[in-house]
């Protein structure tokens, strides 16, 4: 499970250092792809396989929106193995998608990491903090 918020730099080659506490878990490799809300998703290969199995099982190939969602995630996906310093190379088109330049915020999101531009992360958190109580009411079947 991925938890926490981490600020990291992106070097001039487009490499992002993964948080030290997750490096062992991510050492075999990750899949990085476009995420929702303007971030990037980073999955372990095992969790990527589970995610893609769900897409395959639950998204009907005959529906255009299902095909579009599949294209969104798969066309932007890249399998990356961290180097010895725990860095991953983020392809240029993914850096552009997430508006990443020289720094990033890496957040734990349960089964994946999310990589945000600092400005976008700040916007998202302001929205979340303003609406957290209303959103929680929509999921009243979950006990805290």
Q: Does residue 25 lie in a domain region?
A: yes
Q: Does residue 95 lie in a domain region?
A: yes
Q: Does residue 132 lie in a domain region?
A: no
| Look-up of token digits 């075999």 | 28
Reported as a single tens digit per residue, the pLDDT across 35-70 is 999 999 999 999 999 999 999 899 898 999 999 999
Q: Does residue 140 lie in a domain region?
A: no
Domain with residue 72: its CATH number is: 3.40.1550.20
Whole-number Cα distances in Å, 62 to 3, 68, 87, 140: 37, 11, 39, 34
The pLDDT score that the predictor gives to residue 26 is 96
Q: Does residue 36 lie in a domain region?
A: yes
The predicted model scores a pTM of 0.92
Reported as a single tens digit per residue, the pLDDT across 105-130 is 999 999 999 999 999 999 999 998 88
The pLDDT score that the predictor gives to residue 32 is 98
Query: CA neighbours within 13 Å on the CB side: how many for 23?
Result: 13
- Positive/negative CA dihedral, 126, 2, 46, 114: positive
Residue 143 pLDDT class (50, 70, 90 cuts): low
- 93-116 burial by CB neighbour count: b if 16+ within 10 A, else e? ebbebbebeeebbbbbeeebbbbb
Reported as a single tens digit per residue, the pLDDT across 66-102 is 999 999 999 989 999 999 999 999 999 999 999 999 9
Rg over CA atoms, the chain: 16
Range of the domain at 58: 5-117
Q: Does residue 129 lie in a domain region?
A: no
Q: How many domains does the chain have?
A: 1
Instruction: Specify the higher pLDDT residue, 140 or 57.
Output: 57
Residue 144 pLDDT class (50, 70, 90 cuts): low
Q: Does residue 143 lie in a domain region?
A: no
Question: Does residue 142 register a pLDDT over 70?
Answer: no
């Amino acid at each position: 499970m991925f938890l926490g918020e981490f600020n990291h730099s992106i070097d001039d080659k487009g490499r992002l250092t993964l948080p030290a506490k997750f490096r062992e878990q991510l050492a075999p490799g990750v899949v990085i792809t476009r995420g929702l809300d303007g971030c990037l998703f980073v999955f372990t290969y095992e969790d990527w396989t589970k995610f893609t199995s769900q897409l395959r099982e639950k998204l009907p190939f005959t529906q255009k929106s299902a095909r579009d969602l599949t294209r969104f995630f798969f066309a932007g996906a890249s399998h990356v193995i961290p180097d010895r310093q725990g860095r991953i190379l983020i392809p240029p088109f993914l850096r552009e998608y997430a508006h990443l330049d020289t720094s990033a915020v890496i957040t734990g999101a349960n089964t994946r990491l999310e990589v945000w531009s600092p400005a976008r992360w700040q916007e998202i958190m302001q929205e979340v903090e303003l609406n957290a109580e209303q959103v929680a009411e929509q999921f009243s079947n979950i006990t805290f």
